[in-house]
Structure 1
Amino acid sequence: MKALYIPLCLLLMLLFGCQGQDNTNKPDNTNDETTSEETKNGKQDEQKTTDEEQEEQVDLSQFFKPDHSVAYFLGDGNEFATYTEKTTRLNDQYVGTIVDNGGVTMMNIYKIGDDKIEIVYKEPVDMNAQFPDIEEIKAMQPIETYFAAPLEVGTTFGNWKIIETGATLETPYKTFENVIVIEEVDDQYVNRKYFVEGFGEVKTESVMDTDQGEKYTVTSTLEKLTTE
């Protein structure tokens, strides 16, 4: 900045002329600066909250197996605990599975929402049964909640509760990390399901009380996964 040349007499007049004047007419930018800083911090906090919400929001459609895949589950404790599961992505909102345990073939249809997955159809069918058309499926009413967010310990839906996240699970197929475990507790049994993002349900476990006062356990664990 260029220096300004001011005559000595004018400088003295300015100096002495300013004496005795109060500061009531001086602009006070303190509040403006504070308000500006608060606004800035508010926007940052708002952006942070939005980012956190986006990070916490999970795509529940990823808790199913790939489209046109066939999963083979190895059973233990019961002859019908071994089964196959065929998965079909009916559209972005609906997923269908055909489960065959050698005794019965079940068709299941799931509706995927923002914060939960609901079962809208669950009936025994023939081996070669076809899924209903999508308009018919859209008219179906929820039967029960299959899985729900937030994916954290303590979340409940129906009779189920998330009891563990970030678990490690060894299966014949592979060792999974970040497993989510849900549990259903009754007076005579405890049921557990193990979910993994990208695979959905990879193990089920039922622990029942016998008449002899002992525990009887039945498990079905993912052994193989192929794509048709």
Structure 2
Amino acid sequence: MKWRPFLFAGVVLAAGCGDKGVPPVEEPVIEEVADVPSKVDLSSYFLKDGQIAHFVGEGNEFASYKARTVWHDDRHVSVYEDNGGTVMARTFRVEDERIVVVREEGEQYENYVPSDGELESLKPLYTYLQLPLKAGQSFDGWTVTDDSSSVETPLQTFDHAVVLEKIGEDGATVRSYFVDGFGEVKREFVMDNFIVSSMIERIEEPAR
């Protein structure tokens, strides 16, 4: 029975180590990973190729208009605004962090058909939209005043519109309301008590 003293000694040794305070095994700390916001696809701030947005206006005879969208490629798109008096054509370039206007022509009654390589050679005229579209951000004289506004239009009520505002040298305020998946859905011009507004009313699909 010689094994008993060794067994007893082992028990005493283990108990002694416990009295001296063996550090407990620490559980691994699992850090919560914050949600990373998905990349904003700025091309979603335009309608699809061939779609026509009809806007109803108040304040003057040219506040109502229709805007036809024509995509040239996955980075360049032209929008033709016809207010019954003239047609304004703007061509946009969609970049990673912003949308820029690269061409702007009035009295544009025919489709703009760029030659090979022409679109890439056009220089930006000004910035149309720029990330981040968060309240307080500014670019080219515009300020994001709200990034989750509720906007009622004849088409529908939008719950998460981005509102841009610019104040001109004459004191007039211009506001534009943008919605992901639609683009601009409302615009306002305010001078004292004089208000001109345009709101999206319906979207016409391209003819088949």
The TM tier, using the shorter chain, reads 0.7 to 0.9
Shift of 1:70: 0.9
Partner Cα distance (1:81, 1:140) in 2: 30
Larger Rg: 1
Partner of 2:188: 205
Cα deviation for residue 62 of structure 1 reads 1.0
Kept after mapping to 2: 8 A contact 1:96/1:131: no
Q: Tell me how far apart the structure 2 counterparts of residues 171 and 134 of structure 1 sit (CA, whole Å).
A: 39
Q: CA deviation at 1:17?
A: 6.9
Aligned CA-pair RMSD:
2.6
Distance 1:82 1:224 in 2: 12
Query: What is the SS of the residue equivalent to 1:52?
Result: coil
2:202 pairs with 1:224 = yes
Q: TM-score, normalized by length of structure 1?
A: 0.76
Give the alignment of 1:60-209 within 5 angstroms: 60-133=42-115, 135-187=117-169, 188-209=171-192
1:13 aligns with 2:43: no
Unaligned runs of 5+ in 1: 1-7, 210-214
Alpha carbons of structure 1 residues 53 and 9: separation in structure 2 relative to 1, 3 Å: farther
Size of the aligned set, in residue pairs, is 200
Per residue, is there more helix in 1 or in 2?
1
Shift in Å, 1:163: 0.9
2:36 aligned partner: 52
Percent of residue pairs identical: 32
Q: What is the alpha-carbon distance in structure 1 between the residues aligned to residue 99 and residue 162 of structure 2?
A: 15
Letter in 2 for 1:224: R
- Opposite residue 10 of structure 1, the aligned amino acid is W
SS at match of 2:37: helix
CA distance in 1, matches of 2:178, 2:172: 20
Q: Is the 8 A contact 1:208 1:216 kept in 2?
A: yes
- Equivalents in 2 of 1:58, 1:77: separation in Å? 34
C-alpha change, 1:225 and 1:20, in structure 2 (3 Å) is closer
Distance 1:127 1:29, change over 3 A: farther
Unaligned runs of 5+ in 2: none
**Contact 1:66/1:198 (CA < 8 Å) preserved in 2?**
no
